């Protein structure tokens, strides 16, 4: 891999079950409830990848260096950078998965699992309950 250019092929991860009950990757829900799980760098990376799918719905080649620079983080061709850790966090929490050619990334996020909610501050847990209750009432 060229040290001056690091590219990552990204494609949308289609999951009919999650898409039926989930929240858009750039939604306020993700900002409020997935951000504490994923962390800021991974959440912003998810948003940037999702913006790219608006123009390239079947996938595209993400310039990791340019993307990292636009997020204010470092990217090199090793695993120790904030960018690499952000990609790893997306995979660790089921937001992205490795494919034969790159990375499949969700455009729709599932509701945050209870195990992650239980670690959140009380005000976020309450807000989450209200969010889901209001959603089902609509």
CA dihedral (116, 117, 118, 124) in degrees, to 10, reads 140
**pLDDT band at 6, cuts 50/70/90?**
confident
DSSP letter string, 18-34: HHHH-EETTSHHIIIII
pTM strictly above 0.95: no
DSSP letter string, 109-122: EPPPPHHHHTTS-H
**Phi and psi angles of residue 32, each rounded to the nearest 5 degrees, phi first:** -80, -40
* % of the chain beyond a pLDDT of 70: 90
* % of the chain beyond a pLDDT of 90: 70
Residue 129 has pLDDT above 80, yes or no: yes
Helices in the chain by DSSP H: which ranges? Answer: 16-21, 28-29, 35-38, 40-55, 64-71, 82-92, 114-117, 122-137
């Amino acid at each position: 891999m060229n040290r001056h250019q690091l590219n990552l092929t990204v494609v949308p991860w289609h999951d009919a079950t999650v898409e039926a009950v989930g929240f858009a990757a750039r939604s306020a829900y993700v900002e409020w409830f997935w951000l504490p799980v994923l962390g800021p760098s991974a959440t912003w990376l998810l948003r940037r990848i999702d913006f790219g799918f608006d123009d390239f719905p079947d996938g595209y080649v993400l310039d990791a260096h340019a993307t990292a620079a636009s997020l204010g983080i470092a990217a090199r061709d090793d695993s120790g950078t904030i960018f690499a850790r952000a990609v790893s966090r997306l995979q660790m929490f089921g937001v992205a998965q490795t494919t034969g050619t790159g990375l499949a990334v969700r455009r729709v996020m599932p509701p945050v699992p209870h195990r992650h909610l239980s670690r959140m501050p009380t005000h976020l847990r309450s807000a989450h309950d209200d969010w889901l209750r209001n959603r089902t009432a609509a």
